[in-house]
Structure 1
Amino acid sequence: MSVISSLQWKGDHLLLLDQRQLPHQEIYLKQTAIEDVWNSISALVVRGAPAIGIAAAYGLVLWSQHVQTKDISTFKAELRTQGEYLASSRPTAVNLSWAIERIIRVSFTVPTVEKMKEAILKEAIIIHQEDELVCQRIGEHGLKLLNDGDTILTHCNAGGIATAKYGTALAPLHLAKQNGLSISAIATETRPVLQGARLTAWELERAGIDVTLITDSMAAHVLKTKKIAAVIVGADRIAANGDTANKIGTLGLAHIAKAYHVPFYIAAPLSTIDYSIPHGDAIPIEERDPKEITHYQGQRVAAENIEVFNPAFDVTPHHLINGIITEHGIIRTPYEENLVHLSLPNDQNTEVHS
Structure 2
Amino acid sequence: MVKTMEWQGQSLLLLDQTKLPSEIITILCKDYRRVGEAIKRLEVRGAPAIGAAAAFGMVLGWQELVSRYADFSQETLLIEFKKIKNFLLSTRPTAVNLGWAVEKIYKHAVAMINAQQSLKAIETSLGNLACKIYQEDIEVNRRIGIYGAALLPQQARILTHCNAGALATCGWGTALGVVRQAFLDGRLEMVYADETRPLLQGARLTAWELIEDNIPVTLITDNMAAWVMQTQHIDSVIVGADRIAANGDTANKIGTYGVALAAKY
TM-score w.r.t. length of structure 1: 0.69
Equivalent AA in structure 1 for residue 20 of structure 2: L
Secondary structure of 2:181's aligned partner = helix
- Correspondent of 2:9 among 4, 11, 16: 11
Distance (Å, rounded) in 2 between the aligned partners of 1:150 and 1:251:
22
Equivalent AA in structure 2 for residue 156 of structure 1: C
Equivalent AA in structure 2 for residue 83 of structure 1: K
CA change 1:137–1:183 in 2 (3 A) is farther
CA change 1:85–1:157 in 2 (3 A) is same
Offset, 1:227: 1.2
- Correspondent of 1:211 among 214, 217, 227: 217
2:226 counterpart residue number: 220
Q: Render the CA deviation track for 1:105-162: whole Å, top value 9, x for unaligned.
A: 2222113443332222111010011111111001001111112211111111101111
- Correspondent of 1:37 among 35, 39, 55: 35
Distance (Å, rounded) in 1 between the aligned partners of 2:54 and 2:180:
26
2:193 counterpart residue number: 187
2:49 counterpart residue number: 51
Offset, 1:79: 2.2
- Correspondent of 1:151 among 132, 157, 169: 157
Matches within 5 A, 1:76-155: 76-110=78-112, 111-112=116-117, 113-155=119-161
Distance (Å, rounded) in 2 between the aligned partners of 1:59 and 1:102:
13
Distance (Å, rounded) in 2 between the aligned partners of 1:71 and 1:240:
43
Matches within 5 A, 1:279-298: none
1:64 equivalent to 2:66? Answer no
8 Å CA contact 1:95–1:236 kept in 2: the answer is: no
1:27 counterpart residue number: 25
Moved more, 174-183 or 34-43: 174-183
TM-score w.r.t. length of structure 2: 0.91
1:328 counterpart residue number: none
8 Å CA contact 2:156–2:187 kept in 1: the answer is: no
8 Å CA contact 1:173–1:183 kept in 2: the answer is: no
Q: Render the CA deviation track for 1:20-78: whole Å, top value 9, x for unaligned.
A: 11111111110011111111111111111110101000111111111133422122222
Which structure 2 residue ranges, 5 or more long, are not aligned? Answer: none
Equivalent AA in structure 1 for residue 80 of structure 2: E
Identity %: 49
Secondary structure of 1:122's aligned partner = helix
Offset, 1:219: 1.4
Moved more, 104-113 or 43-52: 104-113
Distance (Å, rounded) in 2 between the aligned partners of 1:180 and 1:115:
47
Distance (Å, rounded) in 1 between the aligned partners of 2:256 and 2:29:
32
CA change 1:88–1:245 in 2 (3 A) is farther
Secondary structure of 1:191's aligned partner = coil
Which structure 1 residue ranges, 5 or more long, are not aligned? Answer: 261-354
8 Å CA contact 1:152–1:232 kept in 2: the answer is: yes
1:171 equivalent to 2:177? Answer yes
Supply the RMSD in Å over aligned alpha carbons.
1.6
Secondary structure of 1:170's aligned partner = helix
8 Å CA contact 2:152–2:187 kept in 1: the answer is: no
Matches within 5 A, 1:290-309: none
Distance (Å, rounded) in 1 between the aligned partners of 2:226 and 2:93:
30
- Correspondent of 1:160 among 150, 166, 185: 166
Secondary structure of 2:2's aligned partner = coil
CA change 1:212–1:13 in 2 (3 A) is same
Offset, 1:181: 3.5
1:196 equivalent to 2:205? Answer no
1:242 equivalent to 2:248? Answer yes
Offset, 1:176: 2.5
CA change 1:168–1:238 in 2 (3 A) is same
CA change 1:58–1:207 in 2 (3 A) is same
The count of residues paired between Structure 1 and Structure 2 equals 257
1:267 counterpart residue number: none
8 Å CA contact 1:53–1:99 kept in 2: the answer is: yes
**Structure with the largest fraction of helix:** 2
